[in-house]
Amino acid sequence: MAIYALGGSEPKIDPDAFVHPDAVVIGNVEIGPGSSIWPHAVLRGDYGRIVIGRDTSIQDGTVIHATAELPTIVGDRCVIGHIVHLEGCIIEDDALVGSGSVVLHRCRVHSHSLVGANAVVTNDTDVPSHAMALGIPAKIFADKVGEGEFLDSVNLYVENAKRYKTDLRRVDS
């Protein structure tokens, strides 16, 4: 695994989390139990703090960064899709950020909400609970997401991470 301390900041990764060997985790990063960081994801806590909660998946190619003033916090039971960019924002528990999306500074994606694939959630946007944020720039559609709507995806990635922890092996030709 490419896990690096930077100066006095060293990642804190729960032993029950899974970080794929091709992911990169640098500096001031915390990863909670049952969470998974997939290939080519980069969590770069060089300027500020990054926190990933419990049972959250950070999928392939995602980039998470923070600023000195704005941490990036992802809650429990979140699904962060492929090739997402998060920076200086808060994703609350039980939210989904679709593949290819960008969520920027001072945004808050509340619990049980969804950022649609390829959406761009611009600075200072608030995505209320149970809402969808869709498009470029994202428009908010209230009361479109049910409670527990993403739980199957959360559980799928928790189980997949367990499988990878025990069964993944490199095969060189």
Residue closest to 82 by CA, chosen among 101, 65, 56: 101
pTM passes above 0.85: yes
Q: Note the pLDDT tens digit of each residue in 162-173.
A: 999 999 999 986
Above 80 in pLDDT, residue 16? yes
What are the chain's domains? 2-165 (2.160.10.10)
Please report the pLDDT score of residue 172 as a whole number: 86
Backbone phi, psi, residue 6, to 5°: -135, 110
Residues 128-163 have pLDDT tens digits of 999 999 999 999 999 999 999 999 999 999 999 999
Q: How far apart are CA 43 and CA 37, in angstroms?
A: 9
Query: Quick one: average pLDDT of 35-49?
Result: 98
Query: Which of 83, 135, 56 lies closest to 73, judged by CA?
Result: 56
Confidence of residue 1 (pLDDT cuts 50, 70, 90): low
10-14, 39-43, 103-107, 169-173: the lowest-pLDDT one: 169-173
- Say what the pLDDT of residue 37 is: 98
Mean pLDDT (the chain) is 97
